[in-house]
Structure 1
Amino acid sequence: MDGLSSAASVIAVIQLTGGLVKLCGGYIQEVGNAREEILTLQRAITGLQDTLQDLQNNLQENKAKGLSTSSRLPSNITACLSDLQALEARLDPGKGKTLMRKMGLRALKWPLKHTEVEGLTQNLERYKSLFLLSLQVDQTSLMISLAQNTDRINQYIDLGKLEGAIDAGFESFSDRDEVECLPGTRTELLREITEWAFSPSSKSMFWLQGMAGTGKSTISRTVARSAKNRNHLGASFFFKRGEADRGNAKKFFPTLTRQLILWKPELRAGVQKALNDDPDITLKSLREQFEKLLLQPLLGLDQRDQLPQNTVIVIDALDECEHDQDVQNIIRLLSRLQEVKSLCLQVFLTSRPELPISLGFSEIGNHVYRDLALHEIPEEVTEHDIQLFLQHQFMKIQHDRKVPQDWPGDNIIQELVRVSVPLFISAATVCRYIENPKWEPRLRLAELLKNQAKYVSKMDKTYLPILTRLLDNQESDEREQQQLLQEFQDIIGVIILLAVPLSVNTLSPFLEIEVDQISNRLDFFRSVLNIPNNENQPVRILHLSFPEFLVQTTTKFRVDAPTKHKDVAKSCLRTMRRLLQRDICNLADPGARRAEINSLDIHQCLPSELQYSCQYWVHHLKNSHALSSDIEAVRLFLQKHFLHWMEAMSLLGLISEMMGMLDILRTMVSSGRLSI
């Protein structure tokens, strides 16, 4: 009898044992004086049933491998089936007994004597032992055969020697609560990434860059899930600052190699050779680890005239890897995976747009990678996705907390969308605050809308790591750290309080700080500021929660808003004193109408820093805690330059705005805040 026939016979016996277990159960309910004997027999039948199920699974899974021992069991299976059928005939009370029970007559009687139960139990145990032994023999044979077919057993890699970073891979236990993209969101972006991953003509790397809180890691997990579902996820590494080996590059390449071996077992021999040749390879430089553990084994794979298999490697949050040089080395080394021809290796990498990463990609050249900036996706697309996310989260809160379905209403959702765009982390922070099980969600939402400072305080997990990196350099002394903090206040502290964004080339004369010094300091804040490559374009804040956080935080990065407004007002007054003059545009006709003057001439004669100063010096003065010395500077400015200021405002077409500024000054004088 072949394996298939044996499996069919075993199934018949399994079905019969199931019926016998039910029959015994019926007797237990109806017959009280033989309960222990019935339970003993039922347990013996159940034990046989479990063994037969294991035997059937083994026959089914390995039907093509010729299980020698199990294939010689037909006679034993037939004998077992016959004995069980005889037992069924003894135990089945028949239709007559069923009719008696329906009429209320408890006539069911246990048909077996004590000695018969003992004999049957022993016989069933004998069959169980026989089948179990056969199962163990065949499984041992399969294991030996498998070991012999793995190139030689002494080539087997002990993956323990290839120690990876704990929980760095996709679906790790520590990230079990992290979410993926909600269906219906990021649709165009995910489609674009999928096309890149599976197109034979794609560049080998995809750099998804985005500022803090724009949802990069959520997208990474979604890309990893999609690749895994298609059986194309080769490896992944999710960096996380401050979490042991996930915060540095020490075990980066061993982790990727370990995962790729599990996905592509043919890599074992090449990696084993590397470990044999240099047992300390995992302690060597990143370049040596990459070349010997990853690149050379991959190059050694036999293509066998087959089309290369698409293999996606997901690297998330590279900016959270310590040591800038390691970050640049990782980018440079990963770009060399395009040398591998046996696999089509596609590296999907996410990070904030920080300087070391930008330098790393500029070094390898754009022929190797393509990039996409999340913060440059059209705002209406991001609004749509954040709205879907908020609607989904509030529906979940409604269900979990028994809140009315019309809560919170479309208007509130739209308001939350408005304050969140473009940060998904902002929307997620709002939802986490509201769904806290210790508090009533409707009250939490009302409290949040009334006092948004509560929400801003929750953003410290997003912003503090970025700010802390400014002082990360272990080699800097206390004096240098104080200088960095002062430059932070002088540059970032001003940018967050400006009435309108200014360019680096405008900030330089306005703050009296060199362009290179400003640019160098701004490079640390590309995750929270939109810094264009063109120094004539304005530097913009990504999200209003950043300046609000800096104004409210109690850390060393706190910006004292009134004091800083006073500093900016001083810069405005200094700029106007330096640049304002009579007939600033050198007009041939002092009585010329504004419409007759070339706007290019106006902007040339009134540079951007002067235009800003003329328009907003009162705004900053109003928001400052002006002292008597500051008020004296205002009085002297107005005495000497009032008409010059009026001329400049007229040229800018802002006379009506100037009247409003004078009203503010009058109010400040009447309230005692200003004495002119």
Structure 2
Amino acid sequence: MDNLIVRPLKESDISTVIVIDTLDECKDEEPASAILSVIGRFVSQIPRVKFFVTGRPESWIREGFRLPLLAEATDVFVLHNVEPSLINDIRLFFKQNFLELARRQWELDDWPTKEQLDLLCERVAGLFVYAAATIKFVDRRNSDPKEQVNRLLRSPESSAREGKAKLKANTTLDSLYMSILQEAFGDDDLEDDHKTRSILGAVILAANPLSSSAIATLLGFGAKDVFLRLSSVHSLLILHDDINQPVRTFHKSFPDFIVDKTRCTNERFHVSPPTHHPELLASRLELMNQTLEKNMCNLPDAITNHEVDDLRERTERYLDPSLQYAYRSWHKHLIDGYTICTPSIASALRGFL
């Protein structure tokens, strides 16, 4: 760094931008990015040089930007916080690729329609790798591009076809997800995989997004443990430093992938709805049976809900978010089509009723 970058740039005194793209592709075993650590040591010596760094928010990258030497000199720009209506590059990407496809094939004039393009952009939800997979799927050899697009738009609830589309040699959207999970789970503590799957299952199968703290309460785990395990797959989730903020997936294609055993073929990572819906139901019933009691919101006697002006405020003040989720959504895990009413669940239901 000193010999090849810092000293030459100091001596030349030119204004320079150095781009480090997809930093997450580095194989880095350090707690904080080694590259960012080195930049932090030298960046103050080359004030006319700016570094533009991109990458998925892996934990070691986020820790690198938090290093004292870098924190004050860094502006972090989170792409998924950008208003979707302001994102035009996906649409331009689609237009250019469809135009190129039309040049190579007959009868593709004025295609796709604006409505089809709008739906594709909405489906992609700002995830460029998903847009690339969509184009690869549409531009398959010996396939009609129009029919390929129609197939995608006829089945908006599944990303299975795009997941199998080749992005580059031996790489698909599914293999990208598999590699991220492989790195997150690691090769150690195989017996501990069930806990990680349970936590991911709570994120994927919850009727409404849950926070790390709510997941911890519902599953009986420590909040810090839940947050650390979710942090290991941070690049697939919208995860806040505040453990009371809801956790969401970046894109629906990830839940589609991880619950489908024909796509997520490694049992270590696969979240099985028939396994995890009953688990989530049981945890919610147990929490309600242990926690619910009469008049928890301290309401006056003989009063109906619509007569309580501050009912929402009382609910937020007196009822834990995990309990609110439990009593609002437990039935959804019961009627999901996967849950079998086992003796333990039947007993918990009787106790609750």
Under a length normalisation based on structure 1, what TM-score does the superposition of the two structures give?
Answer: 0.47
2:108 aligns to what? 404
- What secondary structure, in the 3-state scheme, does the structure 1 residue paired with 2:108 have? coil
The residue correspondences of 1:106-505 to structure 2 (distance < 5 A) are 290-296=1-7, 301=11, 308-325=13-30, 328-340=33-45, 344-363=48-67, 364-382=69-87, 384-451=88-155, 452=158, 453-458=160-165, 459-472=173-186, 476=188, 480-483=189-192, 485-505=193-213
Pick closer, same or farther for the CA change 1:339–1:578 going to 2, 3 Å: closer
Give me the whole-angstrom Cα distance separating, in 2, the residues matched to 1:597 and 1:524. Answer: 43
State the superposition RMSD in angstroms. Answer: 2.4
Give me the whole-angstrom Cα distance separating, in 2, the residues matched to 1:538 and 1:457. Answer: 30
Give me the whole-angstrom Cα distance separating, in 2, the residues matched to 1:542 and 1:507. Answer: 18
- What secondary structure, in the 3-state scheme, does the structure 1 residue paired with 2:53 have? strand
Whether contact under 8 Å (1:337, 1:345) holds in the other structure is no
Tell me how far 1:293 sits from its aligned partner.
4.9
Give me the whole-angstrom Cα distance separating, in 2, the residues matched to 1:543 and 1:344. Answer: 38
Tell me how far 1:640 sits from its aligned partner.
4.2
Tell me how far 1:623 sits from its aligned partner.
1.6
- What secondary structure, in the 3-state scheme, does the structure 1 residue paired with 2:15 have? strand
Q: Which runs of 5+ in 1 are unaligned?
A: 1-289, 643-676
Residue from 266, 291, 308 that aligns with 1:555: 266
Tell me how far 1:402 sits from its aligned partner.
1.5
Give me the whole-angstrom Cα distance separating, in 1, the residues matched to 2:31 and 2:296. Answer: 54
Pick closer, same or farther for the CA change 1:587–1:368 going to 2, 3 Å: closer
Q: Which runs of 5+ in 2 are unaligned?
A: 166-172
Tell me how far 1:567 sits from its aligned partner.
1.2
2:170 aligns to what? none
Pick closer, same or farther for the CA change 1:513–1:334 going to 2, 3 Å: same
1:579 aligns to what? 291
Tell me how far 1:590 sits from its aligned partner.
3.7
Whether contact under 8 Å (1:312, 1:346) holds in the other structure is yes
Pick closer, same or farther for the CA change 1:578–1:457 going to 2, 3 Å: farther
2:220 aligns to what? 512
- Asked which structure has the greater CA Rg, the reply is 1
- What secondary structure, in the 3-state scheme, does the structure 1 residue paired with 2:205 have? coil
- What secondary structure, in the 3-state scheme, does the structure 2 residue paired with 1:352 have? coil
Residue-by-residue CA offset, 1:199-241 (whole Å, 9 max, x unaligned):
xxxxxxxxxxxxxxxxxxxxxxxxxxxxxxxxxxxxxxxxxxx
Tell me how far 1:295 sits from its aligned partner.
3.8
Residue-by-residue CA offset, 1:53-86 (whole Å, 9 max, x unaligned):
xxxxxxxxxxxxxxxxxxxxxxxxxxxxxxxxxx
- What secondary structure, in the 3-state scheme, does the structure 2 residue paired with 1:309 have? coil
- What secondary structure, in the 3-state scheme, does the structure 2 residue paired with 1:406 have? coil
Under a length normalisation based on structure 2, what TM-score does the superposition of the two structures give?
Answer: 0.87
Tell me how far 1:437 sits from its aligned partner.
2.6
- What secondary structure, in the 3-state scheme, does the structure 2 residue paired with 1:347 have? strand
Number of corresponding residues: 337
Whether contact under 8 Å (2:32, 2:63) holds in the other structure is no
Give me the whole-angstrom Cα distance separating, in 1, the residues matched to 2:181 and 2:350. Answer: 43
Whether contact under 8 Å (2:273, 2:338) holds in the other structure is no
Tell me how far 1:339 sits from its aligned partner.
4.7
Greater share of residues in helix: 1
